Chain A
Amino acid sequence: AQSVTQLDSQVPVFEEAPVELRCNYSSSVSVYLFWYVQYPNQGLQLLLKYLSGSTLVESINGFEAEFNKSQTSFHLRKPSVHISDTAEYFCAVSAGNRDDKIIFGKGTRLHILP
């Protein structure tokens, strides 16, 4: 069975500073990995995904994540955050063997400080 650990429940960071949100997973099979973002009072939206191929994946709003199989990690990074990035970020995993089940981490709340 898959599981996801997001070690940081909250991350405060100053505007225009870099940020890294950590995600580790466990799985006995190959995996697909996702980051979803939840803005206040909204549902979750897909931010980016790793399915196969290049281990570095990017989103349209400047976030990127790198799949590291040896460290079973999929950390999310952004070189310079904006106030509009204030949200909760969820890492998720599903098995790469066409299993539909998707398991989410507990989320990391990103606080942007002025």
Chain B
Amino acid sequence: DAGVIQSPRHEVTEMGQEVTLRCKPISGHNSLFWYRQTMMRGLELLIYFNNNVPIDDSGMPEDRFSAKMPNASFSTLKIQPSEPRDSAVYFCASSPGSSSGANVLTFGAGSRLTVL
């Protein structure tokens, strides 16, 4: 397996533009997580899905953020409109799910977002 695939790796956009980040989890993994990493806040859990269903989105900062998982092999995180304070590295991670024991996450390489 190629691991967790994220795209784009880097995105530079202007304030107000829509940003869509994409993630392909490891085949067979039932859980998918979106995290945001900044110097100030560290690694924050934004939302996670279990079997394509959003379970906990309490970490999503505002209504400008939305995430979807239309099928087991694809998820998106959308920011509309984007703001400079959204600049961060966004990580997607997947896991087999806690039903098979403790969740052990496999992370993608991240998408570095810069909003000017």
Contacts and interface: CB of A to CB of B under 8 A. Distances in A.
A46 interface: yes
B45 interface: yes
A105 B42 contact: yes
A32 B42 CA distance: 20
Nearest to B9: A41
B45 A102 contact: yes
B25 interface: no
B28 to A, nearest CB: 16
Interface in B20-79: 31, 33, 35, 41-43, 45, 48, 50, 55-56
Range for the number of chain B residues in contact with chain A:
20 to 34
A45 B109 CA distance: 10
Nearest to A1: B58
A43 B45 contact: no
B104 A46 contact: yes
Contacts of B33: 102
A43 B31 CA distance: 17
A87 interface: no
B100 to A, nearest CB: 10
Contacts of B98: 94, 98-100
B102 interface: yes
A99 B56 CA distance: 11
A44 B89 CA distance: 12
B107 A43 contact: yes
Given A46-B104, A46-B105, A49-B102, A100 B50 contact: yes
A104 B43 contact: yes
B95 to A, nearest CB: 8
Contacts of B50: 100
Interface of A: 32, 34, 36, 42-46, 49, 51, 90, 94, 96, 98-107
Given A32-B102, A44-B105, 5 more contacts: A43-B93, A44-B43, A44-B91, A102-B33, A106-B42
